Amino acid sequence: MLEVTSTRHNPGIDPMLHVWGWEIPLYLFFGGLVAGMMVLAGVAMLRTARGEDTKAFFSIQTPLLGFMLLNIGMLALLLDLAHPLYVWAIYITFQPLSPMSWGSWVLLIVYGLLLISALIRLPESWPWLGERVPLLQKASDVFVKHPGRMRGLGVANIAFGIAVGIYTGILLNTMVARPLWNSAVLPLLFLFSGLSAAAAAVHLATVVFPGRPAPRGLIGGALAAMTQPLGAEPPAKKTIDTVIRADVAFLIIELVLIALLLLSLATSTLSHIEAARLLFSGSYGLVFWVGVVAIGILTPIVLQALELSHRIPHTVVPAVLVLAGGFALRWVLVNAGQASAIVQATAP
C-alpha cells in the first residue's frame, strides 16, 4: 500500500492538473482545421496551376475561410493566457527547444500565407475591389497568371498546413510529465483529424454558402466575398464526391492512428498504461468512445460510404459529425492528458 498526503493546494494544480480549460481544445481544433484547409487549398492551387478548376471554390476562397477560422482559434488562445498583455514576449525571441515557440513563428508565416492566398483571388470574387485597388489586381496577376508561382504558393500552403497540423500534437507530445501525450502518434493523429475536419468544413461550406453570381458593388461585393467563401460558382458534383472520398480516407487513417496510440500506451510503462486507462472509464471514456470514435469517426464513414454509393441522399450530417468529433478528440485528449501523471510503483 502507498498512501501519499500533501499539504499543497495550489489552484489548477491540485488535486489534479487542470490549467487548460475549453480554450486550448478549441484552439487546437481550429488550428488543426485550418491546417487541413491549407493542405486542401494547396492541392487545389496545384490544380489551378495546371489549368484545372481555375474558377471554382477551393483554391479561390478556402484561404479566406481559413483565415477567418484561424482568428477564432487565436482568440481562444489569447483568452487562455493568464498574462495576455505580455503576449509580445513570444515575438522577441526564438526558443529552438520549445514547440510553442516554433508554433508561434509558424503561425505568423501561416497568417501571411493565408492572407496572400486569399487576397490574390479577391478581385475575381469581388470585382469592385479589383477595379478600385489596382495594386491588388496587380498582386493578383503576379500569382494567378503565372502557373509556376501559383504552384509555389500551393506547395507552401501544403507544407505549412502540415507543419501546423503536426505542431499542435508535438506541443503536447513533448511533455514527459503527462504520459497520455507521450506518444509520437499524437502529432500524426492531430494532423489527420485536422484534414478530415477540413474536408468536412469545405463540404459543409459548399452547402451552407450556395454559389450565386457575385454582386459587383462595394457592399454587395464585400458581402458576397465574405458570405460565399467558396466562390460564386457552385462546385461540381464530381469535386464534392472527391472531398467526401478524401474525408472517408482521412477518417479511416485517424481510426488506425487512434488504435496505434492506445497500443503504444498500453505496451509502455505503468504510467502510460494508467494514462490509457483514463480513456476507458468515466466521462473521458464516454466522450472518447461515443463522441470521438462512434459519432465522430465510425458514423460519418458509414454515412459517407452510403452517400457515395447512392444508397442515401447527400446531407451535411456526416460533415457536422466529423467537426464535432474533431473538437471532442481535442477536448478529451487535453483534459485526460492533464489528469494523467507519472505513477509511483508500490510495493506488493
Binding residues for another protein (CB under 8 A): 1-14, 17, 19-20, 80-87, 89-90, 92-93, 95, 97-101, 103-104, 171, 174-178, 269, 271, 338, 341-342, 344, 346-347
What DSSP letter does each residue of 156-168 carry, written as one string? HHHHHHHHHHHHH
CA distance 275 to 178: 8
Cβ distance to another protein smaller for residue 9 or 310:
9
CB neighbours (10 Å) of residue 259? Answer: 12
> Cβ of residue 269: shortest distance to another protein, in angstroms?
8
Q: Which residue has cell 494523467?
A: 340
Say how many C-beta atoms besides its own lie within 10 A of residue 210's C-beta: 9
By beta-carbon proximity to another protein, the closer residue of 94 and 132 is 94
Q: Count CA within 13 A, CB hemisphere, residue 102.
A: 15
DSSP track, 168-201:
HHHHHHT-TT-GGG--THHHHHHHHHHHHHHHHH
CA 100-104-106 angle, to 5 degrees, is 115
Helix (H) or strand (E) holding 33: helix 23-49
Cβ-based nearer residue to another protein, 304 or 338: 338
Smaller CB distance to another protein: residue 82 or 135? 82
211, 214, 220, 223: CA torsion to nearest 10? 40
Of 189, 124, 194, 186, nearest to 158 (Cα)? 194
Of the pair 23, 233, the CB lying nearest another protein is at: 23
Tell me how far apart the 2 most distant CA atoms of the chain are, in Å.
79
Minimum CB–partner distance for residue 75 and another protein (Å): 15
CA 305 from chain centre, in angstroms, equals 23
Per-residue HEC secondary structure of 109-124 comes to HHHHHHHHHHHCCHHH
Answer for the pair 203, 300: CB distance below 8 angstroms, yes or no: no
Nearest approach in angstroms of CB 70 to another protein is 18
76 or 248: CB nearest another protein: 76
Q: Provide the minimum distance between the beta carbon of 66 and another protein in the complex, in angstroms, as a whole number.
A: 23
Please state the closest distance from residue 97 (CB atom) to another protein, in A. Answer: 4
Smaller CB separation from another protein, 137 or 340? 340
CB of 64 to another protein, least distance (A): 28
Minimum distance of another protein from residue 37's CB (angstroms) = 24
Could you tell me the smallest distance in angstroms from the CB atom of residue 172 to another protein?
Answer: 8
* C-beta of 219 vs 347, nearer to another protein: 347
DSSP class of 316? S
Closest to another protein by CB, 309 vs 346, is: 346
* Residue 79 CB neighbours (<10 A): 14
Smallest distance, another protein to C-beta of residue 103, A:
8
